[in-house]
Amino acid sequence: WKAPDTHGLQIGFVRRGWPILAPPITAIFKASIALGLYPTSLKASNAIPMHKPAKRDKSSPKAWRPV
């Protein structure tokens, strides 16, 4: 098992439980699309800037990409 993500969820848990988790999760996403709703909690993310190896000038914003 690997370290938990930002929500404290371990990917091993999701993988092992996917046969049980997939149907309700799929239903929730399909309903969200059908209703045109996108929960605010799913809009949040963490972006970490990573330097592009081919760009030498680290002071340029173009030398970085969000991950």
pTM of the model: 0.52
Q: What is the mean pLDDT of residues 32-47?
A: 87
For residue 24, being part of any structural domain is answered with yes
Q: What is the mean pLDDT of residues 29-35?
A: 94
* Total domain count, the chain: 1
For 23, the token pair is 């149907």
For residue 6, being part of any structural domain is answered with no
Which domain covers residue 56, as residue numbers?
11-66
The pLDDT, as a whole number, for residue 32 is 92
Which residue would you say has higher pLDDT here, 51 or 46?
51
For residue 3, being part of any structural domain is answered with no
The pLDDT, as a whole number, for residue 23 is 97
The pLDDT, as a whole number, for residue 1 is 58
CA distances from 44 to 38, 40, 47, 55, 61 (A): 11, 7, 10, 29, 23
For residue 1, being part of any structural domain is answered with no
For residue 20, being part of any structural domain is answered with yes
For residue 48, being part of any structural domain is answered with yes
For residue 16, being part of any structural domain is answered with yes
CA atoms of 22 and 18, how far apart (whole Å): 5
Q: What is the mean pLDDT of the chain?
A: 88
